[in-house]
Amino acid sequence: MYTVGGQRILVVDAQVHVWDASPHNQAIPDGEAYATDLLRRHRELDGAGVPPHEAERVSEQSLTRDVFGAGHVDRAVLQPVVLGDLFVLGFSPLEWHAEMAGWMPGRFVLSGELDPGGGQPGARGLGPRVRRFDLRGLTLCERHRPRGWQRLDDPWLRRTLGRAAAGGADVVHLGVGPSTLPAPWRREFGGPAPPPGAALRRPPRVPRWAEPVQAGSALPVRTRAAERVAPAGFDPAQFRDLARALPHVRFVLGAGCLPERRLLRLAELPNVHVLLTEILPWIGSEDFAHAFGALLRAFGADRLLFGSGYPLVRPGRLVRELAAYRFPDHLRHRYPRFDTSAKRVVLGDNAARLYRIGRPLPSAAAGA
């Protein structure tokens, strides 16, 4: 447990992935292009001292050391992302998460996956998976190559989410997952500078010779150039109808899933929460102060969740900097006070309440 203002607080990282972007798992060329761009973002945000092979593939050793070893994080929520068209064995599937949770009991909460574009047949077997893996939530994302848009108005989706919530998976994540594109918040605020020490490098081109060829032919299987994978977009009006129809479901949106104004309007829905992963790497910049302050004012501290997006960013620095964060003097009058009580709920209590996580036994805490 971490100490903030003399108080020991529970820290829950609400976005962690166990992914494998290593070359043997890439479906060339698109998988290689995605992995190259994702690892470039990792180097920009938190690449100091991380061997490339550990950024490509998460192991039990690296997860234990980077997430739990420093004593900053007590529990973590594993978010799946399959991307079956880009990775041969899947990028970050539920089955790997369940295996990791079995090796490290008491550390993780599992979230499942549901593809809104897969139709009702794609939801078959979801109920047994919820019970088998004790899923506390569902991540809405496409199992294959994202097309950049998700429909949320199909009646089957509403029914499926309602049944999953009745079975225990009553948290729905939308716009939560690793992406090779910057969050809309950065574009609106003009783009804050990267953290100190970040390396700015242009991603290397995927070599033409690496494209697979059809059997007996020199023609590449894919003639379309690989594109960056953006977070799936959605219609806020469709989402608003879905959230109102399922008031007992808690929806968690990524801080970068919508432009600022559209996201803030959804604060009127009491069952909508925001995961801060996409803006946390820029703690200390004025752009972060405006983005975080706007979310704090609209949603309140009780509906904001801490997340690192590990292994994109290791959580230790983010925990320390958020626990010590104060708005710049010239902005304090514009935004609500972010005191010790607010830090406690954002860093862990909100996620513990949503995902039904018990508090760990007292242990040696790190100072803040």
User: Where are the domains positioned within the chain?
Assistant: 2-192+230-355
CA distances from 222 to 21, 27, 71, 156, 177 (A): 20, 11, 46, 33, 26
pLDDT at residue number 207: 40
pLDDT at residue number 183: 61
Quick one: which H or E segment has residue 276? none
- Over residues 29-34, the mean pLDDT reads 86
CA distance 339 to 326: 8
Quick one: which H or E segment has residue 207? none
pLDDT at residue number 360: 59
Mean pLDDT, the chain, rounded, equals 83
Residue 202 pLDDT > 70: no
Residue 185 pLDDT > 70: no
Residue 185 buriedness (CB in 10 A; 0-12 / 13-18 / 19+): buried
Lowest mean pLDDT among 17-31, 142-156, 165-179: 142-156
pLDDT at residue number 168: 95
Residue 70 pLDDT > 90: no
In this prediction, what percent of the chain has a pLDDT beyond 90?
Answer: 58
pLDDT at residue number 208: 41
More reliable by pLDDT, 340 or 7: 340
In this prediction, what percent of the chain has a pLDDT beyond 70?
Answer: 81
Lowest mean pLDDT among 28-37, 59-68, 75-84, 188-197: 188-197
Q: Are 25 and 31 in contact (CB under 8 A)?
A: yes
pLDDT band, residue 364 (cuts 50/70/90): very low
Q: Are 147 and 225 in contact (CB under 8 A)?
A: no
Helices 236-245, 155-167: axis angle to 10 degrees equals 50
pLDDT at residue number 99: 93
Lowest mean pLDDT among 35-39, 111-115, 134-138, 323-327: 35-39
- Over residues 131-148, the mean pLDDT reads 85
Lowest mean pLDDT among 211-220, 228-237, 273-282: 211-220
Q: Which residue matches tokens 């962690």?
A: 16
pLDDT band, residue 24 (cuts 50/70/90): very high
Which residue from 139, 115, 141 is spatially nearest to 231, judged by alpha carbons? 141
- Over residues 28-40, the mean pLDDT reads 86
CA distance 40 to 115: 27
CA distance 349 to 359: 9
pLDDT at residue number 315: 93
Q: Which residue matches tokens 């100072």?
A: 367
pLDDT at residue number 196: 37
Sheet containing 108-114, strands listed edge to edge, beginning at the edge strand earlier in sequence: 12-16, 75-78, 108-114, 137-140, 171-174, 250-254, 272-275, 304-305
- Over residues 103-131, the mean pLDDT reads 89
pLDDT at residue number 368: 41
Structure tokens at 215: 């059997």
pLDDT at residue number 3: 75
Q: Are 347 and 11 in contact (CB under 8 A)?
A: yes
- Over residues 161-181, the mean pLDDT reads 90
Handedness of CA 348, 349, 352, 358 (dihedral sign): positive
**CATH assignment, 2-192+230-355:** 3.20.20.140
Write the CB contacts of 2 (distance below 8 Å, at least 6 apart in sequence): 8, 9, 11, 71, 72, 319, 323, 347, 365, 366, 368
pLDDT at residue number 189: 42
- Over residues 69-93, the mean pLDDT reads 90
pLDDT at residue number 182: 66
Residue 167 φ/ψ region, left for φ over 0, alpha for ψ in the -120 to 50 degree band, beta for the rest: alpha
